[in-house]
Each structure stands twice: as structure tokens, then as C-alpha cells.
A and B are shown apart, each in its own frame.
Chain A
Amino acid sequence: MEEMLVKLVQLGAMGLIGFTLYSSFLLIRENKKGAYKFMGFALGCSILASGIEGFKLLHPAGISIHISPSKPMIDNLPPPTVSIGGKDLSMGEHGEVDIELKPGDSIKFSYENTLIKLIADKDVAGAKNSVDAGGGRNDAP
């Protein structure tokens, strides 16, 4: 919705500049007083707008995002690791992270730690019922 509004405003501005230029041509043709000033103003506006767009192209804006799980993480499960361009970012205890993105950046989420934790939990459950791992209830004197 926001994107569409921006596009509409941009189209409106371009239309206005076009209309002003066309009007100034008509005024010049009719030798009206101040027609050149009017045209100069219209040209100035269009040059300014092109300048802004050109600057945006040369200096693209970074994007800042905050990621936070919508649901609480499962108890004691480590959050996934996040890396941007191969560089690891540290996530908060509950999987939240602030990310600064530049054009061309790619984000990678890895759930390896979570998987390791799940496997280890399975091991703990298995060890509990085995004779050669776990607590050893009889060991204590």
C-alpha cells in the first residue's frame, strides 16, 4: 500500500512537471510576459527531481530490519544463527537480531545449533535409561 502511494506521488510529480513545461511552451508561443521565468522554474524543478533520483541511484539506502520470533522459542532451544555475506551475527537469547542490509546482501539462517540441541536432548533421554551413561542411582555410597 505504502509502495503504491509513493509510486502515485512520483507519477503525479512527473505529470505536474510535464504539464508545467507544456504550459510554458504555450505561453512562450503566445509571447506572454514571464513565460521564460515560468519555463525556467519548470526546468529547475525537473532537474532537481532528476538530481535526487540520480543521487539515490548512486547512493542506495541501506535497509534496517529487526527480526524477532513471533512465537516464543521452545524452552532452552538455541536460536538459529544468522549470517550476512558470510559474517555471523549474534542473536539474542530469544532469537532476536537487528540487521543492516545493503543492496546485494544475502541473509542466511542456520538451524544447526537447534538441531544439535535436539539430538543431545535425545541422547540425554537415552542415557537416562542406560547402564553406562546417565546418573547411576546406585553409585552414591
Chain B
Amino acid sequence: MMRHKILSRFIIIYFVSFFMSHAAHADDPIQPQYKTADSQIVDNAKALRLDRKYDAAIDLLKPLIKREPEYYRAIYQLALSFGERAQSASKQPNDIQDSDTWFRQAIAQKERLSAAGKPLNEYTIYNSYGWFLMETGRFKDAEVTLLKGVNELDKLPSVQSQQRVLNNLSIVYKRQGRFAEAAELSKKALALGSVTAQKNLIEIQQMAKSKSQKQ
């Protein structure tokens, strides 16, 4: 009787752990054709990147992309790893250029699949790349990219993601002296509860007022 009880408990634990491990390491959430092992590599690289271990993240992702050159999530994480390393103490001379290349490759891959009728349900890249362009002073390119993000606002994963893309594009417009468009975006972000938008909106209105008084 005792032996039977132990055996049944063992079987239950075995199955629960099997299903849990399977759930934790599922196939890729965006491109399910990439199986658990590859998806796991990307997850590990992401964790390393968030832990600011950029070299290790890049070392994990490069061989994977060499083997699977159309793996969107891996390319996106590699672009972020180069971009964030460029801002860190361990930056390398080509980091900004590499990040730009991989970002463009990820977006091209996404748009290619979309044109082929297999759109990827992932839209945060427009804010990530737009922000990268803003940080590197390429405001005109940032505008084009962030606009794509704003056009897909409802498909972003969280309210904060929506606030970010709106606030970032507002800054880009403000940088170009396009105060009416900047204010409109800040108002949208404010309606979503953004604190940054509130500050920006006051400043935009002051700048617009000052400009109209001069004219």
C-alpha cells in the first residue's frame, strides 16, 4: 500500500514537472517553426542583455542567426544587444553600425513576411529602432520609424509601450519645431496616463506660444 502511494506520487510529480518544463520552454512565441531549443537560446540571450552582459548575449545569438538567418526574435535581440553595448562602458567601435544593420534586417524580415501574408504579431521594434535612431541623433529617420509604431498602436503589448512610442515621436516633432503635431501626440499619451507627456505638453505649449509671439 505504502509502495503504491509512493509510486503514484512519483508519477504525478513526473508528469507535472514534464508539463511545466514544456510550458516554460515552448516553441518560439512569434515564429513557432523555431523549436524550444532555439527559443531557449533567445530567452537566455535576452536575460543576459537585461543583465547588461552584452558580450555573452551577442556570443549566444550570432551562431544561432548564422544557422537560422530568418529568425526575427534572435535578430531583434542582437540589434538591441549591440545598441545597448554602444551606450555602455564595454562599447566597441562598430556597435552603432552593427545595431543599425541588425535592426534594419529584423524590420526587413518582418515586412517581407507581412507582404507574404504571414505577418508577425510583434510591433515593439518600431519604438526600439526609433529610439535607437533618436539617441544617435537621426531624428528624421526616427520619425519615419516611430510613425510605423504609432500606426500600430493598438497592437503594442502594453499601455506603457503605447505611451513610449507616442512620447518619443512627440519629442522628434518638438525637435523639428512642429509643435502642433508634438502636442497632439503628447495629449494622446497623456490620455493613456503618461507622466512624461504631461511635462512635455506644458513645454511644447510654452515653446509654441513663444514662437507665435515672435511672428
Contact = CB atoms under 8 A, between A and B. Distances in A.
Contacts of A134: 131, 164, 168
Interface of A: 75-76, 112-113, 116-117, 119-120, 123-124, 126-128, 130-141
A120 B127 CA distance: 17
Contact of B174 (A113, A120, A139): A120
Interface in B120-147: 122, 124-125, 127-128, 131-132, 134-135, 137, 139
A133 B175 contact: no
Q: Is the interface of B mostly helix, strand, loop or mixed?
A: helix
Given A116-B177, A137-B84, A132 B128 contact: no
Contact of B175 (A112, A116, A131, A132): A116
A127 B80 contact: no
Given A140-B125, A140-B128, 11 more contacts: A116-B176, A120-B172, A132-B164, A133-B194, A134-B164, A134-B168, A135-B127, A139-B127, A139-B157, A141-B122, A141-B124
B174 A119 contact: yes
B: contact size bracket: 35 or more
B73 interface: yes
Interface of B: 29-30, 46, 49-50, 73, 76-77, 80, 84, 122, 124-125, 127-128, 131-132, 134-135, 137, 139, 157-158, 160-161, 163-164, 167-168, 171-172, 174-177, 189, 194-197, 199-200, 203, 207, 211, 214
Contacts of A140: 46, 76-77, 80, 124-125, 128
Contacts of A75: 137
